[in-house]
Protein backbone atom coordinates (compact mmCIF):
# COMPACT_ATOMS: atom_id res chain seq x y z
CA UNK A 1 0.00 0.00 0.00
CA UNK A 2 1.17 3.54 -0.76
CA UNK A 3 2.95 5.14 2.22
CA UNK A 4 1.18 8.49 1.81
CA UNK A 5 -2.17 6.68 1.85
CA UNK A 6 -1.19 4.80 5.02
CA UNK A 7 -0.22 8.09 6.67
CA UNK A 8 -3.59 9.65 5.73
CA UNK A 9 -5.49 6.61 7.01
CA UNK A 10 -3.60 6.77 10.32
CA UNK A 11 -4.21 10.51 10.71
CA UNK A 12 -7.92 10.22 9.97
CA UNK A 13 -8.36 7.18 12.21
CA UNK A 14 -6.69 8.88 15.15
CA UNK A 15 -8.56 12.15 14.60
CA UNK A 16 -11.98 10.48 14.37
CA UNK A 17 -11.58 7.66 16.89
CA UNK A 18 -9.41 9.25 19.58
CA UNK A 19 -9.01 13.04 19.33
CA UNK A 20 -12.58 13.99 18.38
CA UNK A 21 -14.11 11.58 20.90
CA UNK A 22 -11.80 12.67 23.72
CA UNK A 23 -10.66 9.09 24.33
CA UNK A 24 -8.14 8.56 27.09
CA UNK A 25 -6.06 5.57 28.17
CA UNK A 26 -5.91 5.34 31.96
CA UNK A 27 -2.50 4.53 33.43
CA UNK A 28 -2.27 3.76 37.13
CA UNK A 29 1.32 5.07 37.28
CA UNK A 30 0.09 8.51 36.28
CA UNK A 31 -3.20 8.37 38.16
CA UNK A 32 -4.70 9.86 35.03
CA UNK A 33 -5.61 9.27 31.42
CA UNK A 34 -3.30 9.78 28.48
CA UNK A 35 -5.17 11.85 25.90
CA UNK A 36 -4.59 12.45 22.21
CA UNK A 37 -4.14 15.69 20.26
CA UNK A 38 -3.59 16.41 16.61
CA UNK A 39 -0.18 17.90 17.44
CA UNK A 40 0.82 14.55 18.96
CA UNK A 41 -0.79 12.58 16.13
CA UNK A 42 1.25 14.49 13.55
CA UNK A 43 4.43 14.07 15.60
CA UNK A 44 3.81 10.31 15.92
CA UNK A 45 3.27 9.99 12.19
CA UNK A 46 6.25 12.15 11.18
CA UNK A 47 8.85 10.90 13.68
CA UNK A 48 11.38 8.62 11.94
CA UNK A 49 11.40 4.98 12.99
CA UNK A 50 13.41 2.00 11.71
CA UNK A 51 10.21 0.05 10.96
CA UNK A 52 8.15 3.04 9.87
CA UNK A 53 5.36 1.09 8.14
CA UNK A 54 4.93 -1.08 11.24
CA UNK A 55 4.62 2.07 13.35
CA UNK A 56 1.97 3.52 11.03
CA UNK A 57 0.08 0.21 11.10
CA UNK A 58 0.15 0.31 14.92
CA UNK A 59 -1.37 3.79 14.81
CA UNK A 60 -4.12 2.48 12.54
CA UNK A 61 -4.82 -0.65 14.58
CA UNK A 62 -3.47 -1.39 18.03
CA UNK A 63 -2.33 1.92 19.51
CA UNK A 64 -4.77 1.90 22.42
CA UNK A 65 -3.83 -1.63 23.49
CA UNK A 66 -0.10 -0.99 23.09
CA UNK A 67 -0.30 2.19 25.15
CA UNK A 68 -2.39 0.50 27.85
CA UNK A 69 0.14 -2.34 28.18
CA UNK A 70 3.45 -0.50 27.70
CA UNK A 71 6.04 -0.59 30.49
CA UNK A 72 6.34 2.69 32.39
CA UNK A 73 10.00 3.72 32.60
CA UNK A 74 9.73 7.03 34.40
CA UNK A 75 9.58 10.80 34.09
CA UNK A 76 12.11 13.41 32.98
CA UNK A 77 11.85 17.17 32.85
CA UNK A 78 14.49 17.23 30.11
CA UNK A 79 13.18 18.59 26.81
CA UNK A 80 15.08 18.48 23.53
CA UNK A 81 12.96 21.43 22.33
CA UNK A 82 11.79 23.28 25.48
CA UNK A 83 8.18 24.44 25.55
CA UNK A 84 6.86 26.71 28.31
CA UNK A 85 3.59 24.78 28.63
CA UNK A 86 5.37 21.42 29.12
CA UNK A 87 6.72 20.17 32.46
CA UNK A 88 8.38 17.09 30.96
CA UNK A 89 7.74 13.59 29.64
CA UNK A 90 6.85 10.14 30.89
CA UNK A 91 8.30 7.31 28.83
CA UNK A 92 6.65 3.95 28.21
CA UNK A 93 8.42 1.08 26.46
CA UNK A 94 6.73 -1.12 23.87
CA UNK A 95 7.63 -3.23 20.84
CA UNK A 96 6.79 -2.35 17.26
CA UNK A 97 7.60 -5.00 14.67
CA UNK A 98 9.92 -6.64 17.20
CA UNK A 99 11.90 -3.43 17.80
CA UNK A 100 11.92 -1.48 21.05
CA UNK A 101 10.00 1.78 20.87
CA UNK A 102 9.05 4.46 23.37
CA UNK A 103 5.80 6.32 23.83
CA UNK A 104 6.63 9.90 24.84
CA UNK A 105 3.85 11.24 27.06
CA UNK A 106 3.90 15.00 27.43
CA UNK A 107 2.95 16.45 30.82
CA UNK A 108 1.53 19.96 30.60
CA UNK A 109 1.52 22.67 33.26
CA UNK A 110 -2.21 21.90 33.67
CA UNK A 111 -1.16 18.35 34.71
CA UNK A 112 -2.66 16.83 31.58
CA UNK A 113 -1.02 13.92 29.77
CA UNK A 114 -0.86 13.67 25.98
CA UNK A 115 0.74 11.16 23.65
CA UNK A 116 3.36 13.32 22.01
CA UNK A 117 5.55 10.97 20.01
CA UNK A 118 6.82 7.46 19.40
CA UNK A 119 10.60 7.26 19.27
CA UNK A 120 13.48 4.79 19.11
CA UNK A 121 15.50 6.61 21.78
CA UNK A 122 14.95 7.92 25.27
CA UNK A 123 15.72 11.57 25.96
CA UNK A 124 16.58 11.50 29.66
CA UNK A 125 19.28 14.14 29.82
CA UNK A 126 21.36 16.53 27.80
CA UNK A 127 23.63 14.65 25.35
CA UNK A 128 27.33 14.89 26.21
Q: 126 and 77 in contact (C-beta within 8 Å)? A: no
Please classify residue 123 by burial: count the beta carbons closer than 10 Å to its beta carbon, then call 0-12 exposed, 13-18 middle and 19+ buried: middle
Question: Reduced to 3 states, what is the DSSP secondary structure of residue 111?
Answer: coil
- Residue 59: CB atoms within 10 A of its CB come to 23
**Is residue 17 assigned to a domain?**
yes
**Is residue 75 assigned to a domain?**
yes
Say whether pLDDT at 127 is over 60. no
**Is residue 128 assigned to a domain?**
no
- Mean pLDDT computed over 93-120: 96
Range of the domain at 111: 3-119
Say whether pLDDT at 1 is over 60. yes
**Is residue 32 assigned to a domain?**
yes
Q: What is the pLDDT of residues 2-19, one digit of tens each?
A: 999 999 999 999 999 999
How many independent structural domains does the chain possess?
A: 1
Say whether pLDDT at 125 is over 70. no
- Please report which helix (H) or strand (E) contains residue 33, including its range: strand 32-35
Amino acid sequence: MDLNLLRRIAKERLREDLVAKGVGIYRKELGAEIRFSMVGVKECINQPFCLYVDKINLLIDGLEEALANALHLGFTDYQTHPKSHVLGYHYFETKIGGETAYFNIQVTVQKQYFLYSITEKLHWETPK
